[in-house]
Structure 1
């Protein structure tokens, strides 16, 4: 476990002004409200929620979400699961395919560790060879665990997964033929639908998903194989999956922090009012009179979903962020009469995409009492940073 450096530990209890830049900061009050709203939403709709830990990559945050009612956590990489499991996270779903025999042996070992302490491990599959190699890896252990296996169905993402219908049924049949594997249901996630901007667009996209998933469930059930669970969904569409009567579990993760890209979505009235809770604290280090420069370039925030938005602006100080390279951000007034921030002043940036932004940092700094005048309450390790395999 990586120890927290002394200079960061010494920040606890001090003003947010003392945080050196650039730094990744959580507004803990906003995050807590997001968690509360998600937990209430899941209870109201009687669905489980299994937030995606690839967002925060932190065992401390995973435990916080469990205390609020999360049934477990999704990850995308085996090494993410291993990093969190070592720190006591016991219910993990690797919502991705693993084919390499060496990795599948690690899957079996991780499953045995979680099983021994009352936890569960699940894995997504979309091929016969993936199922056979997983079964073999578990069988090679003298006391192999029972691994939960979800058949991934491609419901529009165009990435992993088999087509809905017969292909999914065939894999379900194959899983049930291996006593060391348990058919856990269907993994049906439409990632690109999360970022369709219009309410109508998202509704139409997920309506087609629900129809295909329901048809696939009916086909598998008619073949005498119960479908225990359909899992999927994300922050952008969760109201539709929750109301479907088909999905029993929501995998939304970005609700916790929200980002500039999600803010571009037209909000649906039934959607919980999630707030921005993750920010890059930056400082203005140069000014030319026509623009200002801050010390947060794209080494401190991911840009593949767009550049950061500048937070907390009045009309006279509204700023637009432009790419200045690895170490710099360029700040322009957003209107002709706008003013530039003074040298040395703080600028709060809302990352374009939370998940890869977190992966750029070793630590998250938790602030209580707001970004203006709040106090540092906690330093949170990014335990699975760089967990790519």
Structure 2
């Protein structure tokens, strides 16, 4: 089979779906492209920039599809992710995270000579070291000040945004605006909870903009938002750029969010599941079946995967195995189990770390039942932790 990153790929272009080896990371290309189009259309209709988060897919090919659909570029969380995607031709990258290590900042400065690059900061030390690295290399980046909008992770208090932005400007760096992403709001299950969280985030953005005004600075752009809340940020009138990532694949955890009685604003009601782990039944007991996809093939930080159109519950069987039991059965054998050799499609609980477990994607055109392998893509930024 085709080699991807020096390893045996699970399929070849032209193979039927049935020939894909297991376990394998499979993209329903038709569904993914509809997701890409839906988000791009929403952003365009709202007059917003779209900069999807590539930490979801870690793929230059998918990043380029997002750019072709209207995205201005993509986000990453790690410098090595940016380097990997730049190496494969992605020209516009935003490291939406802080870097303070001088050796890494020297790499940032070098990378800025090859692509348009942006980075987030939340400390005077980080700004000073960034400025020194860029001066030494003679390059420039866009600089966003990150504010804490409720996540309790990175970011300064909104009232401190002005002082930090002045530090950026004092070094002659390109002042770009505010990073305002509320990751903790993305998986609040009810629409009311998510709405309240983003209302709080919007208050933080207003306070930060007021701090900037007191410092005599305008705010060119507020960037943030995720797949669970993007319509709320859009409706606020404060955010100018959306960083949604998981919409491209729509994992089980995001699908568990409740939309409420009406869609949020003008957002698409739902995105389609487009990322799957193909598995195969390798053993059958009296009341359960076992597939060959354990947690070495799908992340379990957000819970177990969901069985796609199967009527079965997935239980953790360890590194190499998943255990299937019928849903809502009352006695052993009350519902038919899959047979030895049957294909079972799994929807990962969390797409980002699941992708990081695989070396390649198998892109299928024509659906999971009768489709054909159209492409095999490497996961370019797999394992990029630094």
Category of TM-score, reference length = shorter chain: over 0.9
Q: 1:296 aligns with which of 289, 293, 296?
A: 293
Q: How many residues align?
A: 375
* 1:208 to partner: Cα distance: 1.0
* 1:10 to partner: Cα distance: 6.3
SS at match of 1:157: coil
Label 1:285 to 1:9 Cα distance change in 2 as closer, same or farther (>3 A): closer
Give the structure 1 partner of residue 161 of structure 2: 168
Range 144-153 or range 358-367, more displaced = 144-153
Distance 2:233 2:76 in 1: 20
The answer to whether structure 1 residue 307 and structure 2 residue 299 are counterparts is no
Distance 2:336 2:289 in 1: 10
Distance 1:123 1:338 in 2: 53
Distance 1:86 1:10 in 2: 25
Q: 2:349 aligns with which of 335, 347, 352?
A: 352
* 1:221 to partner: Cα distance: 2.4
Correspondence list, 1:1-389, <5 A: 3=4, 8=9, 11-114=12-115, 120-141=116-137, 144-165=138-159, 167-179=160-172, 181-268=173-260, 269-270=263-264, 271-272=267-268, 273-313=270-310, 318-336=311-329, 337-389=334-386
* Superposition TM-score, scaled by structure 2 size: 0.95
Structure 2, unpaired ranges of 5+: none
Label 1:196 to 1:355 Cα distance change in 2 as closer, same or farther (>3 A): same
Range 337-346 or range 361-370, more displaced = 337-346
* 1:339 to partner: Cα distance: 1.7
Q: Which runs of structure 1 show a deviation greater than 4 angstroms over 4 or more consecutive aligned residues?
A: 2-7
Distance 1:134 1:6 in 2: 38
Label 1:20 to 1:201 Cα distance change in 2 as closer, same or farther (>3 A): same
CA contact (8 A) 2:162 2:211 kept: yes
SS at match of 2:114: helix
* Superposition TM-score, scaled by structure 1 size: 0.94
* 1:140 to partner: Cα distance: 1.4
